[in-house]
Amino acid sequence: MHLNPYGADAVLLAVNLVTRPAHTPDELARRCEESGVESRLVRERKVTAADLAAVRVALDEWLEVVDAKEEQTRVDLVNAMLAKYTEHPRLTNHAGDGWHMHYRPDHVPVGRLVATLISTGTALHLAGRGITRLGRCTADGCDNVYADLSRTGRQRYCSPACANRDAVRRHRARSA
């Protein structure tokens, strides 16, 4: 069975790259591989400064999705990313690694590959888990992004540290 690289890993890659931006092509390659993008795909294509710039554009568009207040606006923005970065879905079995879906041509630069993964992964995340399952941390002084993968769909903080810090702040405010 071939796992779908367009799911949660792609959304978490977007969170990772907006929280801690890659500054060099080598860093982008490393972060993609660490986030589950097939290392073969990254190594086959030399990551360039143009790829880094393309990923930054896609991440800026993705942040518009995250920050959208209205459901329809969020949907329209995701659909615009899908139209820009994806192609018709198709089955593929390149290199004999098992049949799976692609939403892009086989030979695209890494920047386009990452943009395709992020846009498709985000669409699948929002459709499968809920349209509100992306956001910004609600802790005072934190503006980081989160992708809500929780069972309950009630995540509001980017990390346990921010959740704990905010709980302590609320407790101290009540106790004062």
As to burial, measured by CB atoms within 10 angstroms (0-12 exposed, 13-18 middle, 19+ buried), residue 96 is: exposed
In a domain, 87, yes or no: yes
Indicate the pLDDT class of residue 1, thresholds 50, 70 and 90.
very low
In a domain, 58, yes or no: yes
For residues 72 and 39, give the distance between their C-alpha atoms in angstroms, rounded to a whole number: 35
In a domain, 157, yes or no: yes
End-to-end CA distance of the chain: 56
For residues 62 and 69, give the distance between their C-alpha atoms in angstroms, rounded to a whole number: 14
Would you say 104 and 112 are in contact if contact means Cβ atoms under 8 Å apart?
Answer: yes
In a domain, 1, yes or no: no
Domain range for 170 is 8-175
In a domain, 48, yes or no: yes
Is 0.85 topped by the overall pTM? Answer: yes
In a domain, 2, yes or no: no
Structure tokens at 114: 């990452």
In a domain, 81, yes or no: yes
pLDDT tens digits, one per residue of 3-58: 455 678 899 999 999 999 999 999 999 998 888 776 667 777 789 999 999 999 99
Number of domains in the chain: 1
Q: Which of 31-35, 71-75, 153-157 is least confident?
A: 31-35
CATH of the domain at 80: 1.10.3300.10
